[in-house]
Amino acid sequence: MFKKAAVFTDIHLGLKGNSKIHNEDCEEFVDWYIEQAQANGCETGIFCGDWHHNRNSLNLTTMDSTIRSMEKLGKAFEKFYFFDGNHDLYYKDKRDVNSTAFAKHIPGITFIDKIYQEDDVALVPWLVGDEWKKIKNIKTKYLFGHFELPSFYMNAMVQMPDTGELQASHFEHQEYVFSGHFHKRQKQGKVHYLGNAFPHNYADAWDDDRGMMILDRENNKEPQYINWENCPKYRTIGLKRLLEDTDAIIKPKMYLRVTIDVPISFEEATFIKETFVTQYKCRELSLIPQKQMEEITTDVDIQQFESVDQIVSGEIAALDTENFNKKMLLDIYNELWYVLKT
């Protein structure tokens, strides 16, 4: 199937309400990915699912970025293999309606819509129905997919519970399993989660190990990861530390959630936000009051800033799995918060 492949996953075009900035980041990533693949002599490209973010509809500006990026990928490789993740599918239990099948009409792209094997390589799109039972029968050295396996971390804080049918032990015949879906790069045994193409939100804070993987199958080498150094970055940090080491911490394209842990006025807070965004070209700086506001001497109007409730609710809403009941998690959090307050 390939001698040397460049692999990435979970780019999520259309994220953040079809954000123009995010889609531009995606296109910039694709350009960087192609440059790295060519510099490393990769004749084949592989994408492991979740090209789009919205399962229900496609925005025209997002589609414009999609077509432009896919055409580049089709031209850059002898073959570019592409299969769906769960975000690319309209239905949860079947793949017949999706947002990416048109890719098969783009020269150079091979669209994989079912379990596919060639030589000692298997490509597996998001599994539906009882397809997980077929995994044990796949006897290839390498397997690429978009799997939701227990005990792996969805992000730095949330570990996947053991609720699904598919287990890592089902990959009996493989030496290497490469998967999209979970956005944190990680490895357990033979299973490698590649991580998303670049950080997408504060669940990726302080974790910039994102980018692509190169697999030299011809020379039987171990996978090589390359980080996109110019990727957007997310940071959560105290204001005191930020002020002490500003130049070392803040980089262009950065998003920051800053906890107010020193006394400042509203005017000073406004000045900090405006200066940092302008001077350091960071994209966002949210000032967040500490939970125990009575311990802080400050005359900042806390309603001007993001609350703890907003942050927690946002992180729960961003969880990318069907095995957590998001409404139930929010209800539990609200009940606990009420008990703590009373």
| Summary mean pLDDT of the chain | 89
Average pLDDT over residues 150-154: 93
**Same domain (yes/no): 248, 276:** yes
pLDDT of residue 50: 98
Long-range contacts of 272-280 (CB under 8 A, 24+ apart): 272/239, 276/246, 276/250, 280/246, 280/250, 280/251, 280/252, 280/254
DSSP 78: S
**Same domain (yes/no): 91, 213:** yes
Of 227, 246, 278, the residue at which a domain comes to its end is 227
State yes or no: pLDDT of 309 exceeds 80.
no
pLDDT of residue 336: 60
Of 195, 227, 259, the residue at which a domain comes to its end is 227
Domains identified in the chain, total number = 2
Integer CA distances (angstroms), 311 to 135, 283, 305, in order: 38, 18, 11
Average pLDDT over residues 147-162: 90
Residue 139, token pair as written in the block: 């006897």
**Same domain (yes/no): 191, 129:** yes
Average pLDDT over residues 204-218: 97
**Same domain (yes/no): 216, 259:** no
What is the spatial distance between Cα 71 and Cα 65, in angstroms, rounded to a whole number? Answer: 10
Give the residue, 88 or 92, on which the prediction is more confident.
88
State yes or no: pLDDT of 2 exceeds 90.
yes
Residue 208: how many other CB atoms lie within 10 Å? 18
Stated pTM of the model: 0.84
State yes or no: pLDDT of 227 exceeds 50.
yes
Model confidence at 339, pLDDT cuts 50, 70, 90, reads very low
**Same domain (yes/no): 261, 246:** yes
pLDDT of residue 292: 35
pLDDT of residue 92: 87
Of 187, 202, 227, the residue at which a domain comes to its end is 227
**Same domain (yes/no): 199, 248:** no
pLDDT of residue 334: 55
Which CATH number characterizes residue 179's domain?
Answer: 3.60.21.10
pLDDT of residue 162: 86
> How do residues 36-90 score in pLDDT, each as one tens digit?
999 999 999 999 999 999 999 999 999 999 999 999 999 999 999 999 999 999 9
Phi, psi of 165 (to 5 degrees): -80, -40
48-85 exposure pattern, b = at least 16 Cβ within 10 A, e = fewer: bbbbbbbeeeebeebbebbeebbebbbebbeebbbbbb
pLDDT of residue 108: 97
**Same domain (yes/no): 111, 196:** yes
**Same domain (yes/no): 221, 149:** yes
Residue of 153, 148, 122, 126 whose CA lies nearest to 136: 122
**Same domain (yes/no): 221, 238:** no
**Same domain (yes/no): 190, 50:** yes
- Residue type at 295 in one-letter notation: E
What is the spatial distance between Cα 12 and Cα 221, in angstroms, rounded to a whole number? Answer: 29
What is the spatial distance between Cα 52 and Cα 23, in angstroms, rounded to a whole number? Answer: 10
State yes or no: pLDDT of 307 exceeds 80.
no
**Same domain (yes/no): 45, 194:** yes
**Same domain (yes/no): 281, 201:** no
> How do residues 293-304 score in pLDDT, each as one tens digit?
333 333 333 334
The residue range of the domain holding 265 is: 233-341
State yes or no: pLDDT of 338 exceeds 70.
no
> How do residues 114-129 score in pLDDT, each as one tens digit?
999 999 999 999 999 9
